[in-house]
Structure 1
Amino acid sequence: MPLIMDGGGTPSFWAAKKSVNSASSLRSFGTRAEFISLALINNMPDAALEDTETQFFRLLELASGDIPVYVKLYSLPGIPRSTRGEQHLRNHYRDIDDLWESEFDGVIVTGTEPHHLDLRAEPYWEVLTSVLDWAEQNTVSAVLSCLAAHAGVLYSDSIPRHRLAEKQFGVFEFRKTCDHAISRSIPDTIHTPHSRWNEVRENDLLASGYQVLTKSADAGVDLFVKKRKKSLMVHFQGHPEYEACTLLKEYRRDIKRFLRGERETYPALPLGYFDAVSTDLLNAFREIARADRREEVLSAFPETAAIDSLQKTWQATATSLYRSWLQYVSSRAWLRSGTLAPHRSVAESITKQTVV
């Protein structure tokens, strides 16, 4: 089923799709069309802003099944933006103040690149905590991704995050610990991409009443949940939304920073991601880059060979997880409305949108 995009413009990936149709109303779906309304609060820095949109749009489209999903885009103020980034937000995003007066069934809050060890020192902290308070009272469920998950448990339960000795970077195997509405459709063993320097620990989560749904001997906890007031808070330390090339892009970006002198050490290869042949090629390039530390060296980066070897082991699981989440949101949104059928008329609720 389609994603129903709020606003007059469509972000670039979706504008290129042949199935995109702009419309001023959705009466073709019927006067009582069934849909879920979501806020996507995308806080990623400019370099990843549009990629993150694409990741979540694709995942929601795959996971939605026969449930149309209406999406509004927001971003927290206080995140550094270039002129181009600010223009993109003006074209496609709503001001965060619009959130407080809007009605949503669910919300997805992404992470961002932190600039302080203590998240409470970040310029967006107060607005982020207001979003968390709002979500607990006004949504059926909220997904908090990566740094947003760390911020959520810090704010709600004073659970600290801990700095890792090395970056948790790659695709890791996780074990399902129990059945839950969000996790029951996934197999006992799954794989999920992670890219982080910090972690929250299982013992701290359990002591504060969180239910851990997936964990790993190598990468710790991934998926954990807790009901807060009216909303099920769903936390991911990893990134099931990542596309096949996302970790490769991050790895190449970190190499570029090394070559520019913006970081002292050459980045480690993402684990569980490349095959043996590509690993050898990338290790050979590492020696070249270390010996000749200039940005121009990046032109010899073996990107094509690396792309061909990527281990894409998580995408079916990611779709299953988000399908279960959308089904959870859908069923409880209808109950919340006091009806046996979906509770909004798309045609009445939305006056300006794009159908994908």
Structure 2
Amino acid sequence: MPIKIPDLLPAKNKLQEENIFVMDESRAFTQDIRPLKILILNLMPLKQQTETHLLRILGNSPLQIDVGLLHTSTHVSKNTPAEHLEQFYKSITDVKANKYDGLIITGAPIEKLAYEDVNYWSELSEIMEWSKTNVTSTLHICWGAMAGLYYHYGIDKYLMDEKLSGIFTHTLSDPREKLLSGFDEEFVVPHSREADIKKTDIEKEPRLKILSESEEAGIYLVASTDGKQIFVTGHPEYDAFTLQKEFDRDTAAGLNPIIPVNYYPNDDPTQTPRLRWRTHSNMLISNWLNYYVYQETPYQLD
């Protein structure tokens, strides 16, 4: 089934070129079906790139999805045209009275900042509090996962000695968990972050359960026992070249970054990286949409 997106959203053409089933608003109006209403809080600097990443894996679901885009009004984006934000994005003030089947909170490259020093922390806290009553299930990604664990459960992050960047192997902690349905016993996921959460802190919280982890990358998937909060510390939404773009950016900035682990063939940055995590990414999002959103949400959201 397709994802329903605004007629003129730039990501539409890119997704159609990749044979992703998208449906613009005009066509969707002719169908008598209640799609899942999914809101994306996009905190990433390159918002248009992140839109494409997330819409790509949402579009692989067998469910019809009506996607809305949200941004924080207390932070002025320097990397996304104001016209794009004005045309396609809303703020929490615009949607506060609405109900949604699901919410996705993206990452942001601000792991080194204390949460309270983030200039939109107050607004983000308002959104996360609002989600408790207005959203069936929320999926938090990377820094968004750390922020969610801190806000909802008081679990803090810890800065790492060096940036974690690369493709890492993960295993399942509880294969019976619905979010992991259909997963291989081992699978790979991209990570790109400078902070981490401690397993011992998660284990102390009875309302949380660890679903997947990696010997090299640490905790990967955490879920609340009621399924309303899902935390993903990696970046399953990344495409084949996202880590390369980050590596090239940091190299050009003179940061002397490490070569992303297990990313380039033979760890040679002159070679073309291969996409090895798409199946897992699609399965993760499909399972979340089916078991934690579709199976739990009321037919009449209001």
Three-state SS of the structure 2 residue aligned to 1:208 is coil
- Which moves more between the two structures, 174-183 or 91-100? 91-100
Residue number in structure 2 paired with 1:321: 284
1:95 aligns with 2:97: no
Q: For the Cα contact (< 8 Å) 1:141–1:234, is it kept in 2? A: yes
Shift of 1:182: 0.9
Determine the structure 2 residue equivalent to 1:268: 258
Looking at structure 1, the residues matched to 79 and 238 of structure 2 have their Cα atoms a distance apart, in angstroms, of 26
Cα pair 1:116 1:122 within 8 Å, conserved: no
- Inter-partner Cα distance in structure 2 for 1:38 and 1:10: 18
Q: What is the match of residue 312 of structure 1? A: 275
Decide whether aligned partners of structure 1 residues 51 and 140 sit closer, same or farther in structure 2, where only a CA change above 3 A counts. same
Aligned to 2:202, which of 183, 205, 211?
A: 205
Which residue of 2 is the match for residue 222 of structure 1?
220
**1:183 aligns with one of 180, 183, 193:** 180
Aligned to 1:193: 190
1:165 and 2:161 equivalent? yes
- Paired amino acid for 2:240: A
Q: Distance in 1 between matches of 2:258 and 2:222?
A: 27
User: Which deviations, in whole Å up to 9, do the C-alpha atoms of 1:45-98 show, x marking residues without a partner?
Assistant: 1xx211100000000001x11x10000001112334238532210011112212
Give me the whole-angstrom Cα distance separating, in 1, the residues matched to 2:51 and 2:80: 16
Structure label with greater radius of gyration? 1
The yes-or-no answer on 1:105 pairing with 2:95 is no
- Cα distance in 1 between the residues matched to 2:77 and 2:102: 26
Supply the distance in 2 between the matched residues of 1:26 and 1:256 (Cα, whole angstroms): 44
Question: In the TM superposition, what is the alpha-carbon distance from 1:34 to its structure 2 partner?
Answer: 3.5
Distance 1:23 1:138 in 2: 23
Question: Letter of the aligned partner of 2:219 in structure 1?
Answer: V
- Which amino acid letter does the alignment assign opposite residue 211 of structure 2? L
The code of the aligned residue for 1:196 comes to: R
Give the Cα–Cα distance (whole angstroms) in 2 for the partners of residues 84 and 323 of structure 1: 29
Counterpart position of 2:69:
73
Which secondary structure state, in structure 2, belongs to the residue aligned with residue 52 of structure 1? helix
Moved more, 146-155 or 192-201: 146-155
CA spacing shift, 1:185–1:248, aligned 2, 3 Å = same
Q: Which residue of 1 aligns with 2:143?
A: 147
Hey, what does 2:42 align to over in structure 1?
A: 42
In structure 1, stretches of 5+ residues that fail to align are 283-301, 350-356
Cα distance in 2 for residues equivalent to 1:27 and 1:208: 45
- 1:36 deviates by 0.7
> Distance between the aligned counterparts of 1:251 and 1:125, measured in 2?
28
Counterpart position of 2:110: 114
Which of the pair is proportionally richer in helix?
A: 1
CA distance in 1, matches of 2:218, 2:23: 43
Choose which of 30, 41, 45 in structure 2 pairs with 1:28.
30
- Match of 2:100, SS state, is coil
The aligned amino acid for 2:44 is M
Equivalent residue, structure 2, for 1:61: 59
What does residue 230 of structure 2 align with? 234
Structure 1 distance, partners of 2:38, 2:79, is 27
SS of equivalent residue, structure 1 residue 270? coil
Pair 1:237–1:83, CA change in 2 (3 A): closer
Distance in 1 between residues matched to 2:29 and 2:9, nearest whole Å: 23
The answer as to whether partners of 1:111 and 1:145 remain within 8 angstroms in 2 is: yes
Percent identity over the alignment is 25
* TM-fit CA distance, 1:13: 2.5
Using the size of structure 2 for normalisation, the TM-score is 0.91
| Superposed displacement of residue 27, structure 1 | 4.5
Contact 2:263-2:274 within 8 A present in 1 as well: yes
Give the match for residue 292 of structure 1.
none
**Distance in 2 (alpha carbons) for counterparts of 1:83 and 1:197:** 21
Unmatched runs of 5 consecutive residues or more in structure 2: none
Q: CA RMSD for the aligned pairs?
A: 2.1
Letter in 2 for 1:245: F
Q: Structure 2 matches for 1:7-26, cutoff 5 A?
A: 7=6, 9-15=7-13, 17=16, 22-24=24-26, 26=28
Is contact 1:11-1:50 (8 Å) kept? no
CA distance in 1 between partners of 2:12 and 2:85 (Å):
16
Q: 1:149 Cα deviation (Å)?
A: 0.9
State the TM-score, normalized to the length of structure 1.
0.78
The answer to which structure, 1 or 2, has the higher relative contact order (CA under 8 A, 6+ apart) is: 1
1:116–1:78 Cα change, 3 Å: farther
